[in-house]
Amino acid sequence: MKLITFFTTTLIVSAAGIAAGMLFAPRKGSKIRRDISRKSHQYSDYLSDKLDEIINSGPDYMDGFGDKTDQLIDKAKNTAKKIEAEVNSK
C-alpha cells in the first residue's frame, strides 16, 4: 500500500510543479507546449531506437550460449563415459 501512496503522491506533486511552472513561465503557453511536444517526440524516438538496438543485439549475444551449452554437454558425456568405463572395469 505504501508503494501506491508514494507513486500517487509523486504524480500529484509532479503535476502541481508542472502547473506552477507553466503559470510562471517566461514564454507563451503555445510555445512551451510545442517545445514539450518536440522534446517528447525526440525522447520517444531515442527510446525506440535504443529498444530496437537491445532487441536486435539479443540474438547475437545469445549465439555464444548455444556453443557453451554444447561444450558442457560433450564434457558431461565424456565424464559419464569415463565413470562408466571405471565402474565396468572393476
The 8 Å CB, 24+ separation contacts for 27-30 are none
* Whether residue 13 has pLDDT greater than 90: yes
Tell me the pLDDT tens digit for each residue of 64-82. 666 777 788 888 888 888 8
For the full predicted model, state whether its pTM sits above 0.85: no
* Whether residue 9 has pLDDT greater than 70: yes
Name residue, grid cell 507563451. Answer: 28
CA 56 to chain centre: 13
pLDDT tier for residue 54 given thresholds of 50, 70 and 90: confident
The domain limits of the chain are 2-89
d(CA 50, CA 56): 10
Tell me the pLDDT tens digit for each residue of 15-50. 898 888 877 877 787 887 888 888 888 888 888 888
